[in-house]
Amino acid sequence: MFTALNAANAYSNARSAIAPDRDAAPGVVQKIGSAAEEFSRQMQQVDISATEAMTGTGDTHQLVQTIAEAQLAMETVVAVRNKVVEAYQEILRMPV
């Protein structure tokens, strides 16, 4: 039989699972942030190389190389996103 006290205790115990403490895993949060910053820098480099190639001041070989690197980075980000969505969907399917 559930009482208000039991429900409050259960909520208190489950609270860390709902909103995990950022101090518990600072390395993971920092790695995710640095990966996002690196992805952003990669996309900015593509823009710079494309602009230089269009204006005639850049090397087309550099443009092709930058686009290939950006494509690999984008495929990696999409694969990670797909895994996160898949994990979230698995969590939603769990019986309560």
Residue 54 has pLDDT above 80, yes or no: yes
**Do 46 and 66 meet the contact criterion of CB atoms below 8 Å apart?**
yes
* pLDDT > 70 in the chain, percent: 74
Residues 6 or more apart whose CB falls under 8 angstroms from that of 60 comprise: 53
| CA-to-CA dists, residue 83 to 30, 36, 61, angstroms | 19, 16, 34
* pLDDT > 90 in the chain, percent: 42
7 vs 64, residue with greater confidence: 64
pLDDT digits (tens, 9 = 90+) for 17-39: 556 565 656 777 788 888 889 99
pTM summary value: 0.63
For residue 58, name the pLDDT band (cuts at 50, 70, 90). Answer: confident
